[in-house]
Structure 1
Amino acid sequence: MDSNNIIKYYSGLVGEIVCDDYKISFDLVVKIGLLRYRNHMQLNEIKNYLKYGYASIDLPISTIGLISKRFLEFCKILHQKYEYKIKAEILSNGGYTLHFDGTCEKQSRVIVFVVKDSISGHVLSSVKVKGESIDEIKPVIEQVVQKYGKPLLTQSDLKPGFKTCMDKIFDKKVLHIFCNYHFLRSFDEYFKEYYQVIKKQIASCRLKSALSTLAASIKCETDNNLIKLKFAKLSDIKKYYEKNRNVVHIYSLVLHACIMWILKFKTDSTGKGFPFDLPYLDLYIRLINAKGFIEQIGINEEHKYWDGFSNIVSGIQANSLFEKSILMLIFMREWFQKLRLVLYMQSEGKTKRGSSPLSERYKLSFAQLEQIPDNIETYLQSLSNQIDECRCDEKKEILLKFQKKINKYKSNLTPPIHTYNVNGKEQKVILERTNNCLEQSFRTDKSMLRRITGREKLTREFNSIGEFIPYYNSMKNNDMFKFMFEDEDKLVQEFASLFYSQKKSMTEMRIIEEDTMKINSNDEKK
């Protein structure tokens, strides 16, 4: 089939983006765009789909790439067309929260700066910037405010200058909230030194490998049916031992179960990353707890495998700096966990496997929200008391650092309760206190890019279309635009109308430019 014969909406735009020998229709732009970004097809897969499918259209790979990019550009223009509707929705919600942040790829000179409203879920702006300095981001925020009005609050991570920029724009009349998750994550600087010591020691002793080898040796000489028993907790192993003291090879079974339980140390992690999770500290604590239980039930040097296990434990402890680092990490984690409780940022369970730690929404009641400022002051008082009583200089130094950081950010950690009217009825809502909505969007965008390009071309593709992806992913899942992306014909009509209105505007601009040039030319002659 000749591609010239499939035109529903003729596009003069084709001359700008494809070879002279080809003409395309808007239904082809939509088809290629959806195959690329909805179905996550590679460019060569799209080429084969078009060439060997019912349409029998043969397009060069480069042309398909340009058309798919143009699809995203039209998505952005479509978003601009309906900005008046977005503004109406924002008004019906009683306002919007202005979340902002930048994202980039390794070795990329491009930063994509995105502004999003967590209440409506709309992306309000997505542009390329050279950096995240005040001079770069201030015009972007000001343009958003010009379109949608003053926000209920602004929110960002802890990058220097973000709050200063907001204070300049809003003259300190709009509250700026620091993402609570990023605030807590910034405490990693106090954990790093000690954590690296224990991580290095565990790696140099090959602890995991040694335990696995010992477990395999026990398994070879023990009842295979019993050895398959799995225990989630050390207490479960203790209960099993109490009920089966007289079982043949009971000590070997218990030792094997303890080793396997130790090696499952990562189940203590929640998936939120460092410093929320300290897996190598958890590994060591499991090792010591298991050793204590094994000694308690009487497994000693008379048992065949005791020496092997005992030597593993002794080898890892033969380092005074290691032991000191363990004690410091346990001490810091205790105070860090208390701080999480103060902010109600202690999750009820583990993050779902495969999800981003920033995808979690931390539930909060109105009473809890109002209690947070008092909780912080109580925590600071406890810190102060501990500092006065502490006789260890290193521990005191850590507590002072905790105290300084909390005092610096405490006024910008608690969002207000948002009250607005719907059909004459007062509604209250707790505004987001993390930048998770935006960070999760970044993760979704980059995941899609990896699927359609592969890692080798990821940076180049990000530089090319990174600023458009947030619009597409936001719109296709939002009720305002969702029906368009589920109906290809509807999307074709929308794109066609956008082009003709844009073409009309460009024609008018060209006429104005030509008239201006004529006037200037006449003035010069005079």
Structure 2
Amino acid sequence: MQAWAGVPLIVREPPKACAVCDGGMNVQKTIRRTVRTLTHGSFQAQVTIFVCASHCQKQNHLVTARSSSLAQLLVPHCTVGYDVLVYVGCQRFLHYRQREEIRTDLGKRYGIVLSTGEISALGRRFLVYLQALHKKRAPALRAALEADGGWPLHIDATGEDGRGTMVTAWAGWRNWVLSAWKAPTERAEFILPGIERVAAEFGAPCAIVRDLGRAMTEAAAQYVQSRKKPIPVLACHQHFLADIGEDLLQEEHHQLRDGFRQIRLLPRLRAFVRQQGRHLGESIGLGREALDRWLEETGRTHGLPKGVGGIVAVRSMAQWVLDYHDEGSGLGFPFDLPWLDLFCRGLQLLAAVRTFRRTVPADTPIRKALETLERMLRPLEGNQPPLLLIQDALSKRADLFHRLRVVLRLEEKNPTAKKLDQIQAALQHLEASLRSKRPERGPAKDTRGAIDLILAHLDRHGPHLWGHAIRIPRRAGGGIGLVARTNNGLESLFHTIKHGERRRSGRKILTQDFEVLPPAAALATNLHHGDYVTLVCGSLDRLPEAFAQLDATHRSRSIAVGAEQKGTTAETASLSTIDKRFVRREIFEDYILAAAKSAA
């Protein structure tokens, strides 16, 4: 590969006839270009350009011709090959590698030197080509979706801190991103046109799965109303549960959190553990071994081991409370209630410490450590703040939420139509039970309010919770197709993109990144799906060839140039990054200040 470096490669194909007059062609000039491809590395190409002998013009330019073989390798008006473009794009948007990583890899593996700015530009251009290829192959993709008997539309939006909102339309049975677009804010007027574009390009969906937000609800309803043949609009069961859980549990959960902050239990426990660790010093290893042996003994009483093992035991008890997050499932609030888990562990340890203190340890350090630990945990039973009362109310509401979760059985990933009917019947039974057991009067005001909240959600969203069994047309094989009950697949896609962007940028907060991230980045995730790749280009190895065919009809101008000149979308965000740059210009501020002075 390096053998080509510095050696000019002469590219001079016999000229074809003029495309206008069919006459001969003469040599216009010979140019030398530095060309970079993965196959050949970096080399000098000496290219001969021919011009019409009769000086014919096309669009006010002389008719010229050059090497078609080299043109098939290189991006128009660029010195890199399509294979380099694809390599950079895949590394950036499939593997989320940083620019320096891509730059280093190109240099070491292929002998190609690119600046970080060139890599950024190639990444953006890659998405333009991919979007154009996606649009060109839309008929083939549509045929595949129709062969499946249709496709359910899962639609959702993501962003960061309310900015950079990206709406994504996802074909559920194929797990393909069909379209993605930026919306200034999540409103129906910016979502409905996107749904209509996707339906026009890929056919009408057989169902729509959406979240419970007002924008998605209105957009889906308006689209269905515009159609002669109705289609089911389904509410995501995960969003449905989360919405109820937040309304049901958030207030008491926050009260419990504020109570823990008031008694400062966590910082005191951490300080206690650190202090015990310093006192133990290097003997902590021996203490753990002694505690292990003592725990494995049979017939031991409710006491503590003697010596250093007892100190390690007290220290480990405090750490057990600090590890309260282990009680959760990792799904986050409201499916996990970490402050309630902390309270329960703290209360359990308080009872255990009192049991240990009944048999007073002979070792003074152990006795004092137990006394200190009990003193820290005692505020859990106090009235200021009334944590026990808050915990009791939260636990009752959490029990209601748990009953609803058990009935919906979201842990079953691929339920059959029969199981879906059973789940629907179980939910109807729970609703009837809640209505019958709802206290009409008396002191159970909180229970009455919690039940009313659940019933209100069921009344509002109940009509959109069922209808997942879709009849497949006979031409597609017949039978029943089941639509996923949640948007978890799409949410997982968003998580992958955000995780990758954090890995690439090194930033936790992605506000700026999502504002500049092209929506076509979501389309790039389709390249992970072999069936999609087969339809659009055959294989990833042939993706550069497919990109080259997009430019074949107009080599004088890359498709990326036209894409960059498109107008911007409507801007309704209060202060986007672009607006912020504009209003911070010194000349703009001077303009305002000058007007203010003249008014004075």
Name the CA shift for 1:397/1:129 in 2 (closer, same or farther; >3 Å).
same
C-alpha deviation, 1:195, in angstroms: 1.4
Larger Cα-atom Rg: 2
1:180 paired residue number: 237
Indicate conservation of the 8 Å contact 2:321/2:342, yes or no.
yes
User: Which residue number corresponds to residue 405 of structure 2?
Assistant: 340
Match 2:96 to one of 37, 40, 47: 40
Tell me, in whole angstroms, the C-alpha distance in 2 between the residues paired with 1:363 and 1:270: 20
- Secondary structure at the aligned position of 1:127 is classed as strand
Alignment check: 8 A CA contact 1:113 1:127 kept:
yes
Does the 8 Å contact 2:353/2:374 carry over to 1? no
1:370 pairs with 421, 426, 446, which one?
421
Rounded Cα–Cα distance in structure 2 between residues aligned with 1:204 and 1:420: 59
Structure 1 position 45, deviation (Å): 3.9
Q: Which runs of no fewer than 5 residues in structure 1 stay unpaired?
A: 16-21, 232-236, 348-360, 511-526
**1:386 maps to which of 424, 437, 446:** 437
Instruction: Spell out the pairing of 1:298-309 with structure 2 (5 A cutoff).
Output: 299=358, 303-309=367-373
Aligned to 2:34: 3
Instruction: Point out the structure with the larger helix share.
Output: 1
Q: Contact 2:304/2:356 (CA < 8 Å) preserved in 1?
A: no
AA aligned to 2:231 is: V
Amino acid in structure 2 at the alignment position of 1:195: H
Aligned partners of 1:35 and 1:46 also within 8 Å? yes
**Residues 208, 443 of structure 1: alpha-carbon distance in 2 compared, 3 angstrom cutoff:** same
Aligned match for 1:30, one of 86, 91, 94? 86
Of stretches 222-231 and 71-80 in structure 1, the one that deviates more from structure 2 is 222-231
Aligned ranges 1:322-471 → 2 under 5 Å: 322-345=387-410, 347=411, 362-388=413-439, 391-420=443-472, 427-455=479-507, 458-471=510-523
Partner of 1:133: 187
How far residue 76 of structure 1 moved from its aligned partner, in angstroms, is 1.3
Shift of 1:335: 0.2
Contact 1:177 1:414 (8 Å CA) reproduced: yes
> Which is further off, 67-76 or 333-342?
67-76
Q: Which residue of 2 aligns with 1:310?
A: 374
Instruction: Give the TM-score of the pair, scaled to structure 1.
Output: 0.80
Give the corresponding residue for 1:210: 268
> Which residue is 1:522 aligned to?
none
Deviations 1:466-492, CA, capped at 9 Å, x for gaps = 311111112233423069899664121
Compared with structure 1, are the counterparts of its residues 70 and 228 closer, same or farther at alpha carbon in structure 2 (3 Å cutoff)? farther
Check whether the contact 2:502–2:508 (CA below 8 A) recurs between aligned residues.
no
Three-state SS of the structure 2 residue aligned to 1:388 is coil
Percentage of pairs with the same residue: 20
CA distance in 2 between counterparts of 1:262 and 1:469 reads 43
Q: Which residue of 1 aligns with 2:167?
A: 113
Map Cα deviations across residues 213-267 of structure 1 (whole Å, 9 max, x no partner). Answer: 5456667579855635899xxxxx9x86863238842876765554343232111
Q: 1:63 to 1:300 in 2, by over 3 A?
A: same
Contact 1:155 1:177 in 2 (8 A): yes
Supply the distance in 1 between the matched residues of 2:452 and 2:95 (Cα, whole angstroms): 53
Once the two structures are superposed, what CA deviation does each residue of 1:337-364 show, in whole Å capped at 9, x if it has no partner?
001111113x4xxxxxxxxxxxxx7342
Given the alignment, which residue of 337, 341, 351 partners 1:292? 351
Distance 2:221 2:537 in 1: 39
Structure (1 or 2) with the greater strand fraction: 2
State the alpha-carbon separation in 1 of the partners of residues 558 and 117 from structure 2: 26
* Letter paired with 1:90: L
- 1:356 aligns to what? none
For the 8 Å contact 1:227–1:257, the answer to whether it is kept is no
Match of 1:61 in 2: 116
Q: 1:255 to 1:144 in 2, by over 3 A?
A: same
1:429 Cα deviation (Å)? 4.0
Count of aligned residue pairs for this structure pair = 480
TM-score (norm 2): 0.71
Say which is worse superposed, 296-305 or 41-50, in terms of deviation. Answer: 296-305
Paired residues for 1:237-256 under 5 Å? 243-245=299-301, 248-249=305-306, 255-256=314-315
The offset of 1:99, in angstroms, is 0.7
Measure, in 2, the Cα distance between the counterparts of 1:502 and 1:126: 27
Q: Distance in 1 between matches of 2:417 and 2:298?
A: 47
Question: CA distance change for structure 1 residues 298 and 49 in 2, over 3 Å: closer, same or farther?
Answer: closer
Matched, 1:92 2:136: no
Pair 415,69 (structure 1): closer, same or farther in 2 beyond 3 Å: same
Secondary structure of 2:84's match? Answer: helix
Q: What corresponds to 2:199 in structure 1?
A: 145
**In the alignment, residue 89 of structure 1 is paired with which amino acid?**
A
Alignment of 1:161-240 (within 5 A): 161-171=215-225, 173-187=230-244, 188-215=246-273, 225=286, 227=288
Task: Pick which of 199-208 and 326-335 moved more.
Answer: 199-208
Residues 155 and 324 from structure 1, CA distance in 2 versus in 1: closer, same or farther, beyond 3 angstroms?
Answer: same
Q: What residue number does 2:550 align with?
A: 498
Structure 2 unmatched runs, 5+: 6-32, 36-43, 46-68, 362-366, 563-600
Q: 44-53 or 131-140, which moves further after superposition?
A: 44-53
